[in-house]
Amino acid sequence: MSAPLQARTATIGKQTLRYVDVGRPGATRTLLLFNGIGANIEAAASFIAGFKATRVIAFDAPGVGDSPAPKLPYRLREFVRLAARLLDQLGIEAVDVFGVSWGGAAAQEFAIRYPQRCRTLTLAATCAGFVMVPGAPRVLSMLLSPKRYFDPAYLVQVGGELYGGILRLERDLLHVHASALRGPSRRGYLYQLLALWGWTSWHRLHRVQAPTLVLMGADDPIVPPINGRIVAARLKRATVETVACGHLFVLTRPAETARRVERFMAEHPAVPA
């Protein structure tokens, strides 16, 4: 188990964001982490702890954790603008960007809109929006409701089918995951779904300048691994790798995934695009 994260708050316009700034002594690189839908910072604590030489910035999306939901829905472009303004407040110009699942879409949007601020890009278990090969209808229907965040017993019941990989067998890992979750507000979860409504990066991915690592779970019921190749085919500099697990390999293999991301970052000089 990783040490508790020390969260802070920042006010950006009318929006309050709860965030963590986890520094490493002598860190020369900073990673901006975009989490999955409905997931609070603590859900990624073990992954964040896996970084040995990197400063990590992560925040609760509006309506998730302790970041209050805004009054009106937002689009993904507005969400990544919040992230950019948070970096401004912290005095950070360029970052390495990581996004998982829903956060992978946000990471793509950030890299497209702020190419000068994105040194490397890592996309985990994600796709290009509506230009994708979808998962099983039953699995995708489960994502329409945030019930798994509020009902640990339900998460344990459906988690194997929903997330695949080792979670099909290891229910203890689902209990650990459930204990780290703080359910999003229903409005916040709905707004995250609406932010992706009709969204795609497919026709814009050629604008990404940063070298990109695409990590896909071999047994991912939500985002089949073929979607990683669809994304990579539109990028200028992309490496695709398959992880022998499911949709939540970032949480089932946190240290291994963090080490892989750090190796990828180290392969590319810390020079803004």
**Sign (positive/negative) of CA torsion 80, 58, 98, 249?**
negative
Please state the length of the chain.
273
Q: Which of 247, 257, 270, 258 is nearest to 39 (CA)?
A: 247
67: annotated active-site residue: no
In degrees and rounded to multiples of 5, residue 56 shows phi and psi of -120, 130
Q: Are 215 and 103 in contact (CB under 8 A)?
A: no
CB atoms within 10 A of CB 221: 21
* Distances from the Cα of 3 to the Cα of 25, 42, 44, 120, angstroms: 17, 10, 12, 27
Instruction: List, in sequence order, every residue forming a beta bridge with 121; answer none if it has no partner.
Output: 97, 212
Q: Which of 2, 46, 67, 101 is catalytic?
A: 101
* Distances from the Cα of 248 to the Cα of 100, 261, 270, angstroms: 9, 16, 28
Helices (H), the chain: 45-49, 76-90, 102-113, 137-142, 147-150, 152-163, 171-180, 186-195, 226-232, 249-252, 254-266
Q: CB-side exposure of 183: number of CA atoms within 13 Å?
A: 13
What residues act catalytically?
A: 101
